[in-house]
Amino acid sequence: MCQENANNSDKPYVSWYWQDDDSNYKEFSHEASRQIEAAYSQKSIALVQGKDNRAFLVDTTKMMKINERTRYTRRVRRGDS
Distances, alpha carbon 53 to alpha carbons 11, 25, 41, 63, 65, in Å? 26, 21, 25, 22, 15
Give the residue-averaged pLDDT of 49-76: 93
The pLDDT of residue 1: 55
> What phi, psi does 14 have (nearest 5°)?
-125, 130
Q: Do the beta carbons of residue 44 and residue 1 sit within 8 Å?
A: yes
pLDDT in tens, 12-60: 689 999 999 999 999 999 999 999 999 999 999 999 988 788 899 999 9
Nearest-angstrom CA–CA distance, 66 and 76: 10
More confident residue, 58 or 4: 58
Kindly state the helix (H) or strand (E) to which residue 45 belongs, with its residue range: strand 45-49
List the domain range (segments joined by +) for residue 47: 17-78
> What is the count of structural domains for the chain?
1
In this structure, is residue 4 part of a structural domain?
Answer: no
The pLDDT of residue 5: 45
In this structure, is residue 2 part of a structural domain?
Answer: no
